[in-house]
Amino acid sequence: MTVSEDASRNDTRSAGDASGDERILLAVRGARDRELLAELLDAYEVIVWERGRESGGGGEGEDGDEGAGEDPLPEFDLCIVDMATYSAVADALAERKADADDRFVPVLLTVAQDEQAVAARRLDDVPDDVLAVPAPKAVIRSRVESLLQTRRQSLQLALYRRAMDSATVGITITEADDDQPLTYINDAFEEMTGYDRSEVLGRNCRFLQGEETDTEPVELLHEAIEAGESVAVSLTNYRKDGTPFWNELKISPVYEDGELTHFVGFQTDATVRHALKNQLIHETQTLKQLFETSPVGIAVLNDDGIIVRANEAAQEVLGLRRSVVLGQSYDAPEWDLVDARGEPLDRDDLPFDRVRETGDTVTNFEHGIGVDDERRWLVVNAAPLTGSDGEHVGVIAAIEDVTAQKRQERERERLLDLFDQSQKIASVGAWEVNTESGAVLFTSGLAELLGVEPGTVFDLSEAFSFYHPEDEPKVRAGFERLVETGEEQSLECRLETASGEMRWVNVRGVATRETDAPVFRGTVQDITERKARSRELERYERIVETTADPIYTLDDNLRFVLANSATADLLGRDPDDLVGEHVSTVFGEHHSQALLESIASLLAGDSDKETMETVVVDRDGAERRFQTTIAAKSSEDEFEGIVCVGRDVTELQERERRLSVLDRVIRHNLRNKMNIAQAHAAMVLEHTDDDDVLESAAAIERATSELLSLAETARKFSSALDPNVAERVQPQNVADCVRNVVEGARLSYPEATITVDAPGVANARAHTTFELAVNELVDNAVVYGGDGVEIELSVFEDDAADQVVLRVTDNGPGVPRLERESIMTGRESPLRHTNGLGLWFVRWAVTNSNGSIHIADNDPHGALIELRLPRA
């Protein structure tokens, strides 16, 4: 990137509305570019990010090396990044954007003019804007301020959203058109009505109305909505569970450019106030009817234990009519009283006698009673009754039938067991934290996930220690947000079990509203396998979308199901428009027929994929030759379609034809001309006594010999020139190859000392020219090191890297630095080039084998060349 210095001098306008509190992160490689940008954006707080360190205020620093992108990014309001630094920070920027939710995190990508095409393809990724530089100062400031303005607006909108979400009154927003569907509800509305957002968005609010909803306020609402006016009404609405509540509703219209677009509603639960009013009105009647209408059985016993009064609920519980119940002793034999264990109950153990004897209240006394040949379970609360003079006159008892609850308890125990089994199947566990006591409770499912005993007790700090050290701060921060805001929190992180195993989990937490105590609950679900599948799927999706080759899928009728961007670009079509079209209408009948023939071969079981070559017409009407590889899609052995991967080989085939002709002509002419030059040089050497002429003729003969040797080397390594010939890479015993080379070299160079250290077998996948490459290394060491050079070759296996390594060292002059850099980087430049093809052919032979080459100085002098090949 290059910032226009002329623009910096000529444009003197101020930053305008820029805020000094806003932070701009510069992730730009060139120190001069960072300095110019820092001066240009002096109205903001500028932070410089460099690989390896960061600084504020536009300070200078050295450019970083590869891998420095692992440094964390500081907080910022806008990031300016160039193409040189983009790859190092792209993942961190993408994660920052993902974590920001609806808050805009702008990224400005600066590119050189010739980089615009590449940058354009990345606009759908992290960058929000691309700026071609050099650019005038005003343009840079305008772009920066525009992005920052958008961020300010997003932060403001996020603030408004949080304010509305956390409001204590219900807030709704509906569209003004059609049937006024709900587009927004806040948390208070959910709590008030019991409905979840997903259940109400898109519906009209009338679903809250019911049988007791008065028509008058409803009509007032309709009239106000029709007129686009504000209105306030009080009406009966119904919660999701069917319970009514009084809703004091106010709605206001929202206009935009004079046009009614929405209505905003404010709901207040006035049920308590209405209930108090009704309570005052009906209190006397309620007190009179309380005894009879109580859902709990109430019985009054005199001092002799005889029932003298009982309400309808007591009659139902005891299974007798009132006329029979009254005057009955509570321990009558027909009731068959038993204790909680099912044993017969003595009269002295009955709560009535205990109250009469002690004068104390007895609570939650449970016993069984036989009624109509069935066992009922009752809970009795009994208290003494005294006369006006304080004398004990009897006992009043509340009798509740808990038979259903007993069944529910047994069912709950069964469900708890089912819940435990479900936790195991779903790899999920639950937790509860009381922030006052610091106690942490967890289910058996979470205990199993952590690898601890279910009864183990942890405090909050110990619970956090189970998370991966890099993720623990994130989990703590999420829990602190939960405690501070009460808003649901959900995040993905790594967890380390008691046995040291690392698992990916989804941690979810919510604030409970059951009690006044600060209690928070949530779940921990093992998503390790899902995470792995998701990463693999995302990787394949990125590969498919970013590849330059057309990739598309067809159904069993050869109609498009999916197509990547390269397919759409080739045809000048939108990918979605291709879906459903027959391949013959897109690529032509010849291509369609070739696909049918390839499918027939696939279904015949000849191979799992087929490759064909056809001519298709691109978006400009030009004919292009494509190689298309297809594979079948199937489910339960049923053919469902094919996946097609195309490769444009038009230029490749033409280039190969031209290179073949050029190679033959150059090598043929080079040999002929060099042979002629050698013959003439030999004639000169034989027919002249002039020392200068002899010296020149000898130089000509040496040069022609070297050129002929170079041509012969090129001929031997011609197969290594093609990087795509995978069939020439095959398993080889590298140790045998090296020994063969050393044996021949000792005969060719008897003055040189050549040693080899290799195991009997060291199998690797290597190109067919690999032995020639090793021979070239030995020849090169002798040529430059002289007859007395010492050469050592060693072969060994690197188990950690799953590779076979060949190391060649000598004590010659070593490989010149510029030549070494050219070979290592794989490219030459006007200032950095090599003198021969030998090391290049070695590099190509190794890289074609999916291996690597490393060249270094030998200690104390000489060269060290290391070749690494994948182990077979």
| 704-742 residue pLDDT tens | 776 666 566 555 555 545 555 555 788 999 999 999 899
Amino acid at 570: L
Please tell me what DSSP assigns to residue 398: E
> pLDDT for 791-813, tens place per residue?
999 999 999 989 999 999 999 88
pLDDT of 516 over the 70 cut = no
pLDDT digits (tens, 9 = 90+) for 554-606: 999 999 999 999 999 999 989 889 999 999 999 999 999 999 988 888 888 76
Burial-class residue 747 by CB neighbours within 10 Å (0-12, 13-18, 19+): exposed
Q: Which residue has the tokens 């510069």?
A: 26
Asked if omega into 134 is within 30° of 0 (cis), the reply is yes
826-842 pLDDT tens trace: 665 444 444 556 788 88
Helix (H, G, I), strand (E, B) or coil at 108: strand
Q: Which of 4-18, 685-699, 758-772 has the weakest average pLDDT? A: 4-18
Residues in CB range of 512: below 8 A, 6 or more apart: 519, 520, 521
Residue 424 has pLDDT above 70, yes or no: no
If one counts every other C-beta atom within 10 angstroms of the C-beta of residue 670, the result is 16
**Is the distance from CB of 719 to CB of 769 less than 8 angstroms?**
yes
pLDDT-derived band at 537 (thresholds 50, 70, 90) equals confident
Q: How far apart are CA 865 and CA 237, in angstroms?
A: 84
pLDDT at 64: 43
Between the alpha carbon of residue 819 and those of residues 142, 841, 844, the distances in Å are 47, 14, 15
Distance of CA 831 to the CA centre of its chain: 45
Task: Report pLDDT digits (tens) over 658-681.
Answer: 555 555 555 555 666 667 777 777
Distances in Å between the Cα of 684 and the Cα atoms of 339, 670, 705 are 131, 21, 16
- The answer to whether residues 808 and 778 touch, using CB atoms and an 8 Å cutoff, is yes
Over range 491-515, report the average pLDDT.
Answer: 87
Beta bridge partners of 509: 489, 522
For 277-335, write each residue's pLDDT tens digit: 777 666 656 655 666 667 788 888 888 778 888 887 777 777 766 666 677 777 665 66
Say whether the peptide bond before residue 860 is cis (omega within 30 degrees of 0): yes
Percent of the chain scoring above 70 in pLDDT: 82
The number of angstroms, rounded, from the C-alpha of 714 to the middle of its chain's C-alpha atoms is 49
As a whole-number percent, the residues of the chain with pLDDT over 90 amount to 28
What pLDDT, on the 0 to 100 scale, is given for residue 121?
A: 63
The pLDDT, as a whole number, for residue 241 is 93
Residue 342 has pLDDT above 80, yes or no: no
Q: State pLDDT tens for residues 438-488.
A: 788 888 888 888 888 887 888 888 888 899 999 999 999 999 999 888 899
Widest CA span in the chain: 157
pLDDT in tens, 475-498: 999 999 998 888 999 999 999 988
pLDDT of residue 834: 47
Average pLDDT over residues 329-350: 74
Q: 29-46: per-residue pLDDT in tens?
A: 888 888 888 888 988 999
Structure tokens at 562: 């999916």
741-788 residue pLDDT tens? 998 888 888 899 999 999 999 999 998 888 888 988 998 888 888 878
User: What contacts 82, CB < 8 A, 6 or more positions away?
Assistant: 1, 27, 28, 29, 30, 33, 109, 110, 111
Sign of CA dihedral 523, 526, 531, 533: negative
